[in-house]
Amino acid sequence: MEKRFYQMTSAEVLEQLGVEEQRGLTTAEVEQRRATYGFNEFKRKPHTSLFTKFIQQFASFMIIVLVVAAVISGVTGYLNGEGITDALIIMVILVLNAIIGVFQESKAEKSLDALERMSAPHCKVVRNGEHSVIATRELVVGDIVELEAGDSVPADLRIIECANLQIQEAALTGESVPVTKSVEVIDGDCAIGDRVNMAYSSCSVTAGRARGVVVAIGSETEVGHIASMIESVGEVRTPMQQRLDQLGRVLAIICLVVCSIIFVIGLAYGNNFMEMFMTAVSLAVAAIPEGLPAVSTVVLALGVQRLAKRNAIVRNLPSVETLGSTTVICSDKTGTLTQNRMTVVDAEAMPSQRLYDVTLLCSDVKHGEDGELIGDPTETALVAWAELKGHKQSEAVARYPRVAEIPFDSQRKLMTTLHRADDKSLLVATKGGFDELIACTTHIVGEDGSVRTITNEDIARLTAKNSSMAEKALRVLALAYAEHHIEAIDEEHYMAEVERVRQGAESGLTFVGMVGMIDPPREEARVAVAECRAAGIKPVMITGDHKITAMAIARQLGIMQDGDQVLTGNEVEQLTDEELSAMVSRVAVYARVAPEHKVRIVAAFASQGNVVAMTGDGVNDAPALKLADIGVAMGITGTDVAKEASDVVLADDNFATIVSAVGEGRRIYDNLVKSIQFMISTNLGEIVLLLVAVLCNWAMPLLPIQLLFINLVCDSLPSLALSVDPAAKDIMHRNPVNSKRGFFTRPFIRRISFQALIVGGASIAAYLLGLGASLDVARTMTFAVMVFSQFTVIFSIRTGNKIFTTGFFTNRWLWLTILFVVVVTMFVMLTPSMMSLFDLAALNTQQWLIVAALSVGVLLLSELTKIGAKRA
């Protein structure tokens, strides 16, 4: 099998790429390679035009049904001389709905834009034997690149020379600690985070310097592979979109069947062909809730506004409801479940001021203008700990200025600095790995603060403490010092003595303590995980960090419990998709994973019927964020790539906000179901009315324009008000709604059937009672009962199985909406010009009392059905 670049020596890599380290590529070679490999940029698809996006908004099955109904209504209205007002109203609503949808831009396009913005604009290279600065886009495979602290890695490099090099790869691998790099060859396959002789595009150099050779550019880099994965991941239809599609199909079938029956029966009665065709079209208008697409869109938009106030920014409208169906949350560790800040949480501290001197002096940390600590996360954690104990770095540095140092390297695993105490003494400060440092010590600070010779018992005790910290996944650093007396007659002699001491500085040290640090879990995340479990949601950790660290954090948070398993990226790679799918329910933690593993894990959960939410903040999270039903990115620490690939962005980076968002998603689902139940039950009530009228060969009880007024004004506006109903008290103490279950469950069908029969029956009664006066009066009474019964039945629908007075005044918007629609309806029924437009007649007092009695009766009968349902 062909070796990978990290498995080759520097010489082998240079030979394979055909480049000399000192000379670099020539201009001719650069041009030749650019012709072969192209520019150092990502390949991308062309942006979707606004027109195409607009057309795509009409792909929903229900929208298509409404378009067909509008066209038929318009054509028949035109041919029959009744105008096309009904058709125009429906089309205006659909166009407005499409315009709202167009503003939801493509996540894949934005993700690629964000990936491009991450690339370093310029880099330092060696070409033609000379150093030069070029645009990152101009790099080709084989270029020799030089890096130093503060640089962003411009392409994937094999490191061929380095000194004290550390690279922050958190965005790519998930590790919170910068990786110490080397030029050593790596045997065998390993994860990205373990390839210490490689530097990857878009990662940043935090310390040291290096020279590397470009081995991959553009789409062939690790970040480029992520871009390709984002582009290849298709759009996932949300559960709500699937339910609305199913709803549209069911309504279309019902409409087609009922209209056909009525059309045939009417012809059998000897009615005019065109008259019966118009009747069937009117019934289609009655059967389909024209306002439902707009209502569902606005309901979701209102949910977006509420979530924004809770620091959850929703980028994709249907995702709001999907949150409520979430069954699994796959979360990145670093910066999401943890604070993304190394913190000292345990220490073996000897009673000596030297402990804090070493901590503060043996460090390259600087203080920013706002007091923020700048530097390596491990060192900032040490300095923060010492300053928390009341010791100031600025004072220590002023008292003991640095005169020499021995930088950290991966072989020694030690860092040493030498400091002038006065003209005759020198302080040596050393920190590093416990095993390496303890081997350099001969003394220890005792419990009384005095220095004595270190014993085997001391070493055994400290070794046990080190093991204890390591078992808790803490990163342990040991601290030691030495004091040297110097006889110097001048500065030159003093510095010569310093160099002499430096040569043997890491020996004869006095052990003064050791500290254990970790990127600690967020306290609010611990609470959020518990709330997720109470809500029937499985929390899962997916991280690029080490297995032991991931397990420790997962146990502290409650993600990992007895019986749960842990898988590493290499173990995931050995499993087939079927094997992984079979065991995902038993795995709580995935460690040392690569981006493609995250995508497979999310897909495995989805294959088990789960609605998967993926939270994260790094570049490595982006493909999985886009594939998941809900991608949730961190707004503060999250990369642009993660944000643009996500559906939801947490503005406060608080994992607990996801729990609040899930609760809001469930509330939205509950309220949307109420709205749909209200609209369908009242529309079916219209069908019952018209069907009975045709079967009995009556004149049409309602005219098309009257039906349209009822559907668009009396249905849609109250439905919107239902969307702001407060959440049920037990909303986060019940299992998620089954995403595979449509709206038409048995209880749902039973409820809308009863309510449709009640509303239809009351309207039929009004029609028959009004016929004694005239057909116009009958139609007017039918129109009034159909309108006002909706205002009574809505209170029965909104409370579910509870009595209608439950939370009677908790939704003021519902009351305001009802008041508004009543005023509009009365204006239509009492104003002569509007009465003429809608073909309505004036009612007397007795007829108004009948309307009121029938409307209240609808509420009472609806409430009685609840009692019957409970007994059943």
Q: Are the CB atoms for 152 and 194 separated by under 8 Å?
A: no
CA 686, CA 691: separation in Å to the nearest integer?
8
Of 327, 316, 351, the C-alpha closest to 540 is 327
**Is 562 a catalytic site residue?**
no
CA atoms within 13 A on the CB side of 388: 10
CA 798, CA 785: separation in Å to the nearest integer?
20
Question: In the structure encoding, which two tokens stand for residue 853, read together?
Answer: 């009695």
Of 743, 745, 735, the C-alpha closest to 327 is 735
Q: Where are the alpha helices (DSSP H) in 369-455?
A: 377-388, 393-399, 434-438
From 332, 519, 640, 725, active-site residue: 332
Of 384, 398, 391, 408, the C-alpha closest to 515 is 384
Question: In the structure encoding, which two tokens stand for residue 638, read together?
Answer: 């999250």
In this structure, the number of other CB atoms found within 10 A of the CB of residue 353 comes to 12
Question: In the structure encoding, which two tokens stand for residue 164, read together?
Answer: 């004290």
> What residue type is 42 in one-letter code?
F
**To 5 degrees, how large is the angle CA 77–CA 82–CA 88?**
60
Handedness of CA 372, 375, 381, 386 (dihedral sign): negative
Task: Sort strands 475-485 and 425-432 into parallel, antiparallel or unpaired.
Answer: antiparallel
CA 364, CA 416: separation in Å to the nearest integer?
11
Of 180, 221, 215, the C-alpha closest to 6 is 215
**303-310 LR contacts (CB < 8 Å, sep 24+):** 303/664, 303/665, 303/667, 303/668, 303/723, 306/664, 307/648, 307/661, 307/664, 310/657, 310/660, 310/661, 310/664
**Helix/strand/coil percentages in the chain, nearest 5:** 55, 15, 30
Q: Give the Å distances, CA to CA, from 408 to 117, 429, 430.
A: 33, 13, 10
Cite the active site residues: 332
